[in-house]
Amino acid sequence: MSFSTRCGFPILLFLIQILNHKAHAQAIPEWQDPQVVSINTEKPRADFFPYASEKAALAMDKKGPFVQSLNGTWKFKWAQHPAKAQLNFYDPKTPDAGWDNIPVPSNWQVVGAREGRKYDRPIFSNIKHPFKATPPRITADTNAVGMYRTTFTVADVKDKQLFLHFGGVQSACYVWLNGVAIGYHEDGMTPFEFDVTEDVKAGVNNLAVEVINWSDGSYLEDQDYWRLSGIFRDVNLLMLPKVVLTDYSVRTILDANHENATLKLSAYVKNYGQQPIHAHQVLFTLYDVSKNVVATPVSQMVGTLEMGKEGAIRAEMPVPGPAKWSAETPNLYTLTVQLMNSDGKVLEATSQRVGFRDVKIKSGQLLVNGKAVTIKGVNRHEFDPETGRVISRESMIKDITLMKQHNINAVRTSHYPNASEWYDLCDQYGLYVMDEANIESHELWGKNIILADNPQWRSAFLARGNAMVERDKNHPSVIIWSLGNESGMGQNFVDMGDFIKLADPTRPIHYEGRKDYKPTTLSSFDIVSVMYPSTQDMVELVKKDKTRPLIVCEYAHGMGNSIGNLKEYWDLIEKYPTMQGGFIWDWVDQGLKLKRPDGTEYWDYFNYIDGANAGDGLVNPDRTPQPELNEVKKVYQYVKFEMPDTLKAGAKTVTLQNTYDFQSLNAFELVWSVIENGKAVGKGGSITNLNALARQKQQISIPYELPAASKPNAEYFLNISLRLKEATIWAPKGHEVAWHQVPVVKPAAPRPNLSLYSERPLRIAQVTAARVQIVGTDFTVVFDKNEGRMISFKNKKDEMLESGPYANFWRVPTDNDEGGAAKSYASQWRNCGLDTLERVSSEMKTQKPTAQIYKVTLNQTLKQAKGEMDVQSVYMVYASGDIHVQNTFTPRGEWPSLAKVGMQLKMPAAFTKTQWYGNGPHETYADRKTSGKIGVYAGTVAEQHFPYITPQENGNKTAVRWATVTNAEGIGLLVLSDTAFNFNVHDYTDKDLLAAKRRAAVLNRGTSTVVNIDLAQMGLGGDDSWSPRVHEAYLLPARTYTYSYRMRPIENTSNIEQIAAVRLPYVDQKETNETVAITETAAATDEALSEEDEEEEEAVAAPVRKTTVKKAPVRKKPVRKRKPARRRRRR
């Protein structure tokens, strides 16, 4: 229950609390009674700042005589439990000189962890409470208490009404002023106020607050986040006149054509004076962005108000043809509200930004201003790596600008109302908000303890919903109310929804929970909602209910290196009119920045309660965008480019499809260029006369030209970019909002064969019985039978190998790889020893087709507990320095799906530079490469690492045609292939990366350069992170794989394009993008390092699914053909 006056206090119990200040002194203390949610607080109201004049209200600088900030340094004392709190700590006579200092706002756990104080530590948990769940009681031996004290000075209290305003205190608190008990409150995420007029004195005042970490309210606050407490939002003293504006509301009503509008206004005035008031009035004035009055101001008289009475006034203001608000066009007006006395003197003024928009559900669709909108959303926890739940304005703006720049148009305030300023910024910048009440009972729901069905908790449910709605009701950005999260379903939610509908019938209501909780059962209220569905689940849901929109409140789980399959979801969403998008989980990794003993910093993200870590975001804790955010931007982009998958030379027509809901394309220009082999050629251009209206198309012609001359092995792409003509508040001029890349066909000149006539013959030396050395003019290569690999490759005198290429089927597990416990991909890999395969046999064969070509065939068998893998690597060494490599992997026995199929090698640490021609510039994977753009990219090896807060697989490149790894002088290794491959390079080993997963571990870097040359890598997944859900198309089942590539030493003057344009003799390289096959055609002198009979072999390529963005190779099934063996005599 909630009391609005101090006389409602349970006096006896509270006096006992004051005198003894021990929790056990009460049979049921307030913080363990679910029916007591607040004592002595004022009614919830809209968030607004009181000013002394309309001019100040229009300036909106939040400064003035009516508000005194109490933020700053407070005194603080910590106790382990309410029973151990200091007696009478709130008494001004109790000394506090020996107490700690603490900033307000802050979370004491974060301050303690960052400064080494002996408070309770920050705890991250997903579902399970950090204490034994015995609702509504908290029986834990440790339930920390923070005792706060501060002083403030008031010069004069005469004729003033004073209120103490707390923006947020987690989770429950008692308040004293000058030693007098003021009240109690729980619900850590909404504001509360006390009328302290009778308690504030002129001069110095002493304020004390006791904050209890866990309360009965904690059972409604079981969100997956850091469990932090304290006074973490602003504290203010309001010093108002005796007649005050207590609340107001603004609703925008649009006509049937969504052209003209009516402002429906209401305001509440209360008389705190000793005498009745007469003839006071409230004046409403609407201004445009230039501060011009846009409609006739309206005023309404307040009837006579006796002492202590409150009155309501209502008014309407016609507004012809206002500019409408949407996330794309966030047009705002400013409404001033002035309370005047009978003489016309302004007693109080305030202001509110107004966006003219309406929200309805019609024909199964969510409409804003009469148009179906698409929710391209993200969930967002409030989190700062250095201050925890204390969020600065700068941090909020950083989040919003990054969201807008990456085509995100909506945010769900998961799972609680955010700081008030967040909504102001969403109004200004343009984001749709699903505002969610501070209710989640995840652990209890999992145990079938449904607080939503318990009448004891009804008042708490209603109070939390009411506090949210009353505070945020005037924000145009809020288009949906959400009742909470993951708490089951029951009557309390039904009552809460009914209550909100009565309070605000202008917005739809969302809640995903349901009693029969299955992926395809329908949720209640206005929106069909679901979490982490498959695409088939989504189809079933829209077929079951065609009267409501489907908006997925959580999907695409972003834990670690994730967000695979996003395009598959959006291909489906764009197909069904009542599928209207969803909210990715989630925005930011919740990593706390803490210090190691040596003073260096690290991210603390570990969950020791129930496993799931804090790294679910699209951005790092410091807001560094993760590579997956590029995929979100690309899939979410609002402009589509309709053209063939491949353009014929001369085809120049492109149709732009504008999928914005409200915005035309006239704010953008189209910039185009042609690239040849990854680099721009010729002159590009721009088209500025784009004019397609929202949901319309525009056909344009791009006057590109291809080079007249034909080049061998040349490929061309047309790059198209849509960019801002002018800067906006969220992006600079030239910011790219959408792009497209399409291959252009141009007949290529025949590729000449590599000429070896001028090359000196290779010199062959059998170093040992198991080792052969091949020496060319500027290179030396050594193969070793026992190692089963090439062990040395010298570029002139520079050794390029620290460890030669070896078969690799493993990756350092991603967070998603670990999902599913014993059934996870990572568990399957570990169980079969995928990272510790044992070589049980090895052989080497050699041939010399010509004096300038030498062939080495390495066969080995790798073993794990339940199976074996035969690995054959055929090396063709050319006098030019080229080495053609064909690898064939043939599994036998039981194998899981493989993480990778490829080869890994190590180079000395001096090889620190890399370049590649393929997808970039960021990492891409089989199921997350829509955002990859074919081009030539370069950087340092160190730059290829992305620091996910949990160290894991990262940095992969797909659709690679060639790649280099060189030292500072440009000397190094070139790898290229006619078949696009995966490439990755790092300045650490897989073992180093795996070891860095330990808490506060430092990744050991710079000791060697590790290169991966892979046929393919398994997808990342992302449908969720707790079960193995990589889509079948992106798995690598254990079967025979064959692929080829070419290696060559290079220096800084090497022309890679010319090298790639030449075909190697004795290797059948088809001009199509198919797997290279080796055919032995020349009679040769055989040299064998084995007594076994030698065989002539013909290897035929094996099928794998496509591994590139454009025209990925199709591989034919491998067939091993043997010719009759001929016994040869060793020479």
Helices of type H across 606-756: 628-636
Report yes or no: 868 and 861 within 8 Å, Cβ to Cβ.
Answer: yes
CA-wise closest residue to 231 among 38, 71, 88: 71
The one-letter amino acid code at 918 reads: G
What are the chain's domains?
6-32+66-240 (2.60.120.260), 243-354 (2.60.40.10), 374-635 (3.20.20.80), 638-745 (2.60.40.10), 798-1078 (2.70.98.10)
Q: Which long-range contacts (CB under 8 A, 24 or more apart) does 136-142 make?
A: 136/32, 136/33, 136/34, 136/216, 136/219, 136/456, 136/457, 137/32, 137/216, 138/31, 138/32, 138/214, 138/215, 138/216, 138/218, 140/214, 141/80, 141/81, 142/80, 142/81
Peptide bond just before 95 cis, omega within 30 deg: no
The residues annotated with a catalytic role in the active site are 486, 554
Query: Band of the pLDDT at 1070, cuts 50, 70, 90?
Result: very low
Q: What is the pLDDT of residue 27?
A: 77
Report yes or no: 655 and 643 within 8 Å, Cβ to Cβ.
Answer: yes
* 639-642 and 653-658 strand pairing: antiparallel
Residue found by looking up tokens 């790649």 in the block: 963
Q: How far apart are CA 707 and CA 711, in angstroms?
A: 9
Q: What is the pLDDT of residue 1121?
A: 42
CA-wise closest residue to 436 among 380, 393, 490, 389: 380
Per DSSP, which regions of 1081-1128 are E strands?
A: 1085-1088, 1097-1100, 1119-1122
Q: How far apart are CA 1062 and CA 1050, in angstroms?
A: 15
Residue 52 CB neighbours (<10 A): 15
- CA 324 to chain centroid, in Å, comes to 30
CA 283-289-294 angle, 5° bins: 45
Instruction: Classify each residue of 64-84 as buried b or exposed e, where b means 16 or more C-beta atoms within 10 Å of its C-beta.
Output: bebbeebbeebbbbbbebbee
Residue 325 has pLDDT above 70, yes or no: yes
CA 688-693-699 angle, 5° bins: 60
Residue 522 has pLDDT above 60, yes or no: yes
Residue 11 has pLDDT above 70, yes or no: no
User: pLDDT tens digit string along 63-101?
Assistant: 899 999 999 999 999 999 999 999 999 999 999 999 999
Task: Pull the structure tokens for residue 379.
Answer: 């969930």
Q: What is the pLDDT of residue 606?
A: 87
Report yes or no: 626 and 605 within 8 Å, Cβ to Cβ.
Answer: no
Q: What is the pLDDT of residue 610?
A: 81
User: pLDDT tens digit string along 173-200?
Assistant: 999 999 999 999 999 999 999 999 999 9
Q: Which long-range contacts (CB under 8 A, 24 or more apart) does 50-55 make?
A: 50/238, 50/240, 50/244, 50/245, 50/348, 50/349, 50/350, 51/348, 51/349, 51/350, 51/351, 52/346, 52/348, 52/349, 53/346, 53/349, 54/285, 54/336, 54/338, 54/346, 54/349
CA 615-620-625 angle, 5° bins: 130
Query: Band of the pLDDT at 670, cuts 50, 70, 90?
Result: very high
Query: DSSP character for 1065?
Result: T
Residue 26 has pLDDT above 90, yes or no: no
Task: Pull the structure tokens for residue 196.
Answer: 């302290």
Q: How far is CA 128 from CA 214, 311, 501, in A?
A: 14, 47, 32
Greatest extent of the chain over all pairs of C-alpha atoms, in Å: 122
Task: Pull the structure tokens for residue 767.
Answer: 């170093």
Residue found by looking up tokens 């190697």 in the block: 1064
CA-wise closest residue to 435 among 394, 476, 393: 476
Query: Band of the pLDDT at 354, cuts 50, 70, 90?
Result: very high
Q: How far apart are CA 571 and CA 569, in angstroms?
A: 6
pLDDT-wise least confident of 450-464, 581-595, 754-768 = 754-768
Average pLDDT over residues 570-574: 97
Q: What is the pLDDT of residue 1068?
A: 54
Q: How far apart are CA 301 and CA 312, in angstroms?
A: 10
Q: What is the pLDDT of residue 1074?
A: 30
CA-wise closest residue to 1012 among 1102, 887, 881, 864: 887
Helices of type H across 958-1048: 990-995
The one-letter amino acid code at 851 reads: A
Number of H helices, E strands in the chain: 14, 64
Average pLDDT over residues 993-1003: 95
Q: Which residues pair with 315 in a beta bridge?
A: 265
Residue 2 has pLDDT above 70, yes or no: no
Q: What is the pLDDT of residue 691?
A: 96
Q: Which helix (H) or strand (E) holds 263?
A: strand 261-271
Would you list the DSSP string of 4-36?
SSGGGS-HHHHHHHHHH--GGGSSS-GGG-TT-
Q: What is the pLDDT of residue 418?
A: 98
Phi/psi at 628 (5° precision): -65, -20
Residue 1092 has pLDDT above 90, yes or no: no
Q: How far apart are CA 33 and CA 19, in angstroms?
A: 20
Percentage with pLDDT > 90 across the chain: 88
Residue 439 CB neighbours (<10 A): 33
Would you list the DSSP string of 337-370?
EEEE-TT--EEEEEEEEE-B--EEEETTEEEETT
Q: What is the pLDDT of residue 1102?
A: 32
pTM of the shown model: 0.91
Residue 60 — left, alpha, or beta (φ > 0 → left; ψ -120 to 50 → alpha)?
Answer: left
Q: Pseudo-torsion of CA 1018, 1023, 1024, 1028, nearest 10°? A: -40
Would you list the DSSP string of 94-149?
S--TTSEEEEES--HHHHHHHHT-SSPPPEEESSS-SS--BTTB---S---EEEEE
pLDDT-wise least confident of 83-92, 463-472, 1063-1072 = 1063-1072
Query: Band of the pLDDT at 1118, cuts 50, 70, 90?
Result: very low
Question: 59: exposed, middle or buried (C-beta count within 10 Å: 0-12, 13-18, 19+)?
Answer: middle
Percentage with pLDDT > 70 across the chain: 92
CA-wise closest residue to 213 among 119, 301, 278, 324: 119
CA-wise closest residue to 280 among 336, 351, 348, 344: 344
Residue 616 — left, alpha, or beta (φ > 0 → left; ψ -120 to 50 → alpha)?
Answer: alpha
Q: How far apart are CA 956 and CA 966, in angstroms?
A: 18
Q: How far apart are CA 1043 and CA 1045, in angstroms?
A: 7
Residue 1076 CB neighbours (<10 A): 23
